[in-house]
Amino acid sequence: MEVKLWQAVQAILNGILTGALYSLIGMGMALIFGVMRIVNFAHGAFMMLGMYATWMLFERLHVNPYFGFLAAAAMLFVLGYATYQGLLRRIADRSDFMQILLTLGISLILTNGVQLIFGADYHQINFGLLDINVRLNSHVSLNLPWLLAFGITLVLGVGMFLVVMKSRLGRALRAIAQNRYAASLMGIDVMRIQALSFGMGLAAVGVAGGLLLPVFYLYPGAGDQFTLKAFVIVVLGGMGSIGGAAIAGVVLGIIENLTSLYWGNEWALVVDFIVFLLVLSLRPSGLFGSQRV
Amino acid sequence: MARVIRPSWLSRGVLFALLVGVACKADSKQAANTFRIGVVTSLTGSQAAFGQAHKNGYTVAIGELNAKGGVLGKQIELVYYDDQSKPDQAVQGVAKLVDQDHVPIILGAFSSENSRAMIPAVTAKKVPLIMPTATADNVMETGSPWVFRICAGSGGYASATIDFLKNNGAPKTMAIVYENTNFGQANAKSMKELAPAAGIEIIDDEAYQSNSPDYKALLQRVKAKEPEVVYFASYLLDATTLMRQSEQVGLNPKFVTSAGTGFAVAEFPTDKGAGKYAEYTLSVAQWVPSAKWAGSSEFDAAFTKLTGAHPAYHAMEAYAALLVAAEAINLGKSDQSAAIADALRKVKLDTPFGPVQFDAKGQNPHPLLVTQVQDAKYKVVWPADVAETKPVPTPAWADRK
């Protein structure tokens, strides 16, 4: 019996570690959705770019991915800012449908562009750090790369939350989320702030990509599945709530791990989407309150 | 007035499309001095690495064949269709290759899933299909007279693994871990059918969603059942994650066995795959560069010259498939699909992949090898008469250096 208990503990801890990365991906999307009302269907593709950036740094310049992710984040921030100014801005007042088409289009261009440049081969990185496991007792152990990713995510997640809740920029973000017309009347440069928040949202997913690289693998389609996951997290967390997305990501990680442990891995995605549908139909404002951003 | 403009643009568009169409037609006429063979494989998408292996295998084969004069006095030209690792695209590929490119024979696809999807299409169009790598046995169960398979199927994988286990310690319990696709399910099904007869009880049966970063809970579940053998059916990406995380959760079966594929590609025992976590894993292989069949080492050399890396068996199977297609075309002395299919039934060809001769169902009875990763290399350890070395017992993770 005790062994079984430890198993559950192990699964929950693993779920928290995996979930933290989901949170970061989801928070990026939640920020973008909150401020712009755009569901960024290119989210996973941008994450894949972050992974490639981290990978290139590691392969060419031998930069450890646990530093390299910072460069990936910076690159994605700039890219996000430019993408907003060049493309998204033009359709800001158009229908949701246009926005879906545009972000989906960006996603396809990124995925296939990367494939043209780097080829379809998958890549993996290996270095000594990946082999270290932290044993808590004879039944529970945690893999160091996942722990590191969790620690970094925690710091950055809290930082992002504080920026949004406490800083001047954050106040402007929230004002736009509540009512962009009123915000612009109050002297907020809506376009600039939206461009910044798109950059920040992508930087978050770039960090997630950089942190995922050492424990996952890389190919041009590697990010695709995470777009959907991020969307589920944004909905669970309450359409645009960053704190909500953070919690929802961890909850999703734990649900997946426990489902895998008790029912089998093939049910993990099924349960994900059952939870998603239940929340959508019973509590459309999300699991965690209705406050936006 | 705007209404008047639109149809004019439309008609210009149509005219343009027609011109392009005519240009393409002219192109295909120009190419009439070559003999076209259709290829469907996964050049993009999640199985692109295998599709690339196919392409490299075909490239080596076409170089050799055309140097010897091609077929029916013409040089061979391969017309590729990229199925993007998706079954629906593979079906579209058949339509495109047959209706537009007029190829009399098709080779492909890479995955069992895509190959299975193509069978109704080639049957309806009465075009022979040679499958180099589809191991799921349901691709041979349609009864279609137009399909031919070079490689051994999932039943062969399971029986080769069981044969090895019976003669090397005769374990009693097994867990099957497989990806939830046609390939994974077919291999799991074959194992479930064959293991009990050999006195091996299947105590765990785990399907999983492929391409996930986290299989630790799944592996914990397997660990709790304490099987003596784990049988994996996975592609490379997941094979690597599964082995790394097996170490993390401390899953220690006496035998880690697998239905080839991800556990049998050249990258798997290297740093580009599972690296040291691949050590001691057993796999079923259709072919290895050190295989005894004549031409194996020459193919290895040609492939290595082309790509800079040693070939896995997927490339060899594609290579062999094209050799067999060319042989059938020359044997039937025809560029018609029906004649080529008849000739395929008569082909008897010694290839570096071993002798190829299709049975009444279109299956080539290809013998399988059991390999083990030892010092980052695949070594044939079974059957005993062709083994390079003896199998080594698998130590617990904690006991490895």
User: Residue A215: which of B213, B217, B221 has the nearest Cβ?
Assistant: B213
- To test the contact with chain A by mutation, choose from B56, B212, B216 the residue with the greatest count of A C-beta atoms within 10 A, namely B216
List, for residues A226-269, the tens digit of each pLDDT value: 999 999 999 998 887 888 999 999 999 999 999 999 988 889 88
| Domain parsing of chain A, residue ranges | 2-282
- Chain A residue nearest residue B207, CA to CA: A266
Residue B99 covered by a domain: yes
Same domain (yes/no): B148, B297: yes
Q: Which CATH class is domain A2-282?
A: mainly alpha
Residue A124 above 70 pLDDT? yes
User: Residue A126: which of B51, B248, B275 has the nearest Cβ?
Assistant: B275
List, for residues B316-336, the tens digit of each pLDDT value: 999 999 999 999 999 999 999
Q: What is the pLDDT of residue B20?
A: 52
- Please check whether residue B384 is in contact with residue B375, taking contact to mean a CB–CB distance below 8 angstroms: no
**Alpha-carbon gap, residue A168 to A172, rounded angstroms:** 6
CB spacing of A141 vs B250 below 8 angstroms = yes
- Chain A residue nearest residue B251, CA to CA: A139
- Looking at beta carbons, which residues of chain B come within 8 Å of A112? 44
Across residues B154-161, what is the average pLDDT? 91
Same domain (yes/no): B126, B109: yes
- Tracing tokens 């059991």 back to the chain, one arrives at B370
Closest alpha carbon to A220 in B44, B146, B333:
B44
User: Residue A124: which of B43, B207, B240 has the nearest Cβ?
Assistant: B240
* ipTM given for this complex: 0.83
Domain that holds residue B123: 32-152+293-356
Same domain (yes/no): B263, B343: no
Q: What is the pLDDT of residue A147?
A: 93
Neighbouring CB atoms inside 10 A of B187's CB total: 33
**Alpha-carbon gap, residue A209 to A201, rounded angstroms:** 13
- Looking at beta carbons, which residues of chain A come within 8 Å of B213? 18, 212, 215-216
Read off the tokens for A131: 């082999």
DSSP calls for B339-376:
HHHHHHHH--EEETTEEE---TTSB--PPPEEEEEETT
User: Residue B209: which of A123, A217, A265 has the nearest Cβ?
Assistant: A265
Neighbouring CB atoms inside 10 A of B76's CB total: 22
Tell me the residues of B at the A interface, defined by beta carbons under 8 Å apart. Answer: 43-46, 48-49, 51-52, 180, 206-209, 211-218, 220-221, 224, 236-237, 240-241, 244-245, 247-250, 271-273, 275
Same domain (yes/no): B138, B39: yes
CB spacing of A260 vs B221 below 8 angstroms = yes
Q: pLDDT class for B8, splitting at 50, 70, 90?
A: low
Q: How many domains does chain B fold into?
A: 2
- Looking at beta carbons, which residues of chain B come within 8 Å of A265? 206-209, 212, 215, 217-218
- Chain B residue nearest residue A132, CA to CA: B248
- Looking at beta carbons, which residues of chain B come within 8 Å of A123? 272
A118-122, B200-204, B223-227: which has the minimum mean pLDDT? A118-122
The CATH number covering residue B390 comes to 3.40.50.2300
Secondary structure (3-state) at B387: coil
Same domain (yes/no): B392, B273: yes
Residue B362 covered by a domain: no
- Tracing tokens 């991020």 back to the chain, one arrives at A230
**Alpha-carbon gap, residue A37 to A62, rounded angstroms:** 39
